[in-house]
């Protein structure tokens, strides 16, 4: 167990708040393997071990494709809880990541518990924060909780927790001995061939078209040692941003229109996250929120913003912001 006293605090908090209550579990927007894997196991623990009368899970905004695949595989469905008594946020680094549900949750006056491994932010002050950045994934916290409760891990739980840990450690590449030992225990109950493919689903035609359009419309900048790709599409923004990072960009900025707002999705490559010293979810987001009205959040390698400004303006400012944060001019790559 990575941090026994933290896990015992998680346990005591749940014991205190969950019994006889209706619990709405929420992930960050779009979800990912970590938030969904953790939520799946937590929903089971809440009813089976902490005696919640009801537990339902919701993902703000549109679910990522791999999330849909994992949920289908686990036969885990989204379920809104009517008049919840408690909210449980899983892997939600900042209230902004609740997107459309943020005002409901934070305006409810009900206890909000957050189980997470991201760095605690000031905004979390209203929340009962069970947060430990020592953990490499929220699924790793849940793994330790399951061990703390002395439960037998079945195949579905093993799959959910393994996918969460594997995804958040970038295929274990940023893992340590502790994570390796947990992963190896989980793997004994899993057929990797049948589950790992879910992390790279092929996608439907609409997403494929958005990615291809995103590639065709992309322009590229060099900022010192870093390459930044910029593009615009009106749907599947994060998917397009991931595609551009896979193609070699260190940062991808993808913007699109949604009503009177511009949505901006940013993704950073693994080396950008590790060596640039810049967090997209904090540095770039606060840079843009100083210039435009709107909201946004994220973590080191991913950000999403909703801004009241035209797409061109947002893109222009985002590139300028990166250039300022990296203290190097942005030079557009010639054809
Ligand atoms: Mn996570």
Residue bearing tokens 């419309």: 217
Give the CA radius of gyration of the chain: 20
**Helical pair 155-168 and 33-48, crossing angle rounded to 10 deg:** 140
Q: What is the mean pLDDT of the chain?
A: 93
Cα 88 to middle of ligand 1, angstroms: 15
Cα 137 to middle of ligand 1, angstroms: 5
Cα 31 to middle of ligand 1, angstroms: 9
Q: What is the pLDDT of residues 227-236, one digit of tens each?
A: 999 999 999 9
| 113: Cβ contacts below 8 Å, ≥ 6 apart | 13, 14, 17, 86, 87, 88, 89, 127, 128, 130
Q: Give the integer Cα–Cα distance in Å for 88 and 26.
A: 6
Q: What confidence category does residue 280 fall into, taking pLDDT thresholds of 50, 70 and 90?
A: very high
Q: Are residues 162 and 249 in the same domain?
A: no
Q: Give the integer Cα–Cα distance in Å for 114 and 112.
A: 7
Q: Give the integer Cα–Cα distance in Å for 22 and 4.
A: 28
Q: Are residues 139 and 89 in the same domain?
A: yes
Q: Are residues 81 and 211 in the same domain?
A: no
CATH of the domain at 135: 3.90.1640.10
Q: Give the integer Cα–Cα distance in Å for 237 and 239.
A: 5
Q: Are residues 216 and 183 in the same domain?
A: no
Domain final residue pick, 198, 213, 231: 198
pLDDT value at 297 more than 90: no
Cα 317 to middle of ligand 1, angstroms: 28
Cα 75 to middle of ligand 1, angstroms: 21
Q: Are residues 163 and 246 in the same domain?
A: no
Q: What is the pLDDT of residues 150-179, one digit of tens each?
A: 999 999 999 999 999 999 998 898 899 999
3-state DSSP call for residue 156?
Answer: helix
Cα 120 to middle of ligand 1, angstroms: 13
- Cα three-residue angle 334-279-326, rounded to 5 degrees: 45
So what's the pLDDT on residue 120?
64
pLDDT value at 39 more than 80: yes
Q: Are residues 38 and 182 in the same domain?
A: yes
So what's the pLDDT on residue 315?
97
Cα 287 to middle of ligand 1, angstroms: 24
Residue 29, token pair as written in the block: 């927007």
Q: Are residues 191 and 221 in the same domain?
A: no
Domain that holds residue 317: 205-332
Domain final residue pick, 165, 198, 231: 198
**Other C-beta atoms within 10 Å of 5: how many?**
9
pLDDT value at 29 more than 90: no
Cα 117 to middle of ligand 1, angstroms: 7
Beta-sheet pairing, 219-223 with 226-232: antiparallel
Which candidate, 247, 261, 267, places its Cα nearest to that of 307?
A: 261
So what's the pLDDT on residue 276?
94
So what's the pLDDT on residue 334?
84
34-54 average pLDDT score: 98
Q: Are residues 40 and 164 in the same domain?
A: yes
Cα 284 to middle of ligand 1, angstroms: 20
Q: What is the pLDDT of residues 227-265, one digit of tens each?
A: 999 999 999 998 899 999 999 999 999 999 998 999 999
So what's the pLDDT on residue 123?
58
Q: Are residues 83 and 99 in the same domain?
A: yes
From the centroid of its chain, how far is CA 48? Answer: 26
Cα 293 to middle of ligand 1, angstroms: 28
pLDDT value at 107 more than 70: yes
So what's the pLDDT on residue 124?
55
Q: Are residues 46 and 68 in the same domain?
A: yes
Cβ pair 32, 199 in contact under 8 A: no
Domain final residue pick, 148, 168, 198: 198
276-291 average pLDDT score: 94
133-155 average pLDDT score: 97
Q: What confidence category does residue 290 fall into, taking pLDDT thresholds of 50, 70 and 90?
A: very high
Cα 35 to middle of ligand 1, angstroms: 6
Cα 328 to middle of ligand 1, angstroms: 31
Residue bearing tokens 């599409």: 233
Cα 217 to middle of ligand 1, angstroms: 31
Stretch among 28-32, 285-289, 299-303 having the lowest mean pLDDT: 299-303
How many distinct structural domains can be found in the chain?
Answer: 2
So what's the pLDDT on residue 307?
96
So what's the pLDDT on residue 141?
98
pLDDT value at 122 more than 60: no
Q: What confidence category does residue 202 fall into, taking pLDDT thresholds of 50, 70 and 90?
A: confident
So what's the pLDDT on residue 274?
86
Q: Are residues 21 and 157 in the same domain?
A: yes
Cα 307 to middle of ligand 1, angstroms: 25
CATH of the domain at 222: 3.10.310.40
Cα 288 to middle of ligand 1, angstroms: 24
Q: Are residues 176 and 83 in the same domain?
A: yes
So what's the pLDDT on residue 64?
81
187-208 average pLDDT score: 88
Cα 179 to middle of ligand 1, angstroms: 14
């Amino acid at each position: 167990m990575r941090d026994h006293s933290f896990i015992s605090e998680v346990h005591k908090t749940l014991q205190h708040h969950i019994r006889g209550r209706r619990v709405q579990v929420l992930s960050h927007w779009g979800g990912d393997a970590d938030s969904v894997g953790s939520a799946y196991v937590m929903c089971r623990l809440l009813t089976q071990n902490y005696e919640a009368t009801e537990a339902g899970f919701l993902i703000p905004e549109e679910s990522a494709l791999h999330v849909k695949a994992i949920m289908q595989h686990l036969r885990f469905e989204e379920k809104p809880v009517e008049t919840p008594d408690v909210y449980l946020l899983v892997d939600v680094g900042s209230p902004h990541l609740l997107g459309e549900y943020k005002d409901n949750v934070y305006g409810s006056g009900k206890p909000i518990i957050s189980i997470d491994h991201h760095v605690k932010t000031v905004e979390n002050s209203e929340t009962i924060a069970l947060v430990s950045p020592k953990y490499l994934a929220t699924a790793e916290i849940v793994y330790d909780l399951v061990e703390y409760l002395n439960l037998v891990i079945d195949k579905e739980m093993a799959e959910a927790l393994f996918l969460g840990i594997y995804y958040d450690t970038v295929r274990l590449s940023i893992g340590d001995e502790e994570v390796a030992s947990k992963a190896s225990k989980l793997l004994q109950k899993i057929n990797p061939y049948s589950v790992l493919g879910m992390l790279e689903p092929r996608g439907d035609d609409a997403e494929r078209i958005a990615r291809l359009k995103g590639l065709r419309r992309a322009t590229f900048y060099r900022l010192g040692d870093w390459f930044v790709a910029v593009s615009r599409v009106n749907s599947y923004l994060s998917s397009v941003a991931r595609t551009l990072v896979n193609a070699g960009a260190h940062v991808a900025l993808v913007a699109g229109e949604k009503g009177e707002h511009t949505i901006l999705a940013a993704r950073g490559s693994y080396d950008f996250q590790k060596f640039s010293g810049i967090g997209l979810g904090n540095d770039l987001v606060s840079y843009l929120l100083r210039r435009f009205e709107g909201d946004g959040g994220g973590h080191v390698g991913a950000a999403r913003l909703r801004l009241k400004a035209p797409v061109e303006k947002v893109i222009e400012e985002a590139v300028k912001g990166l250039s300022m944060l990296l203290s190097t001019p942005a030079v557009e790559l010639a054809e």
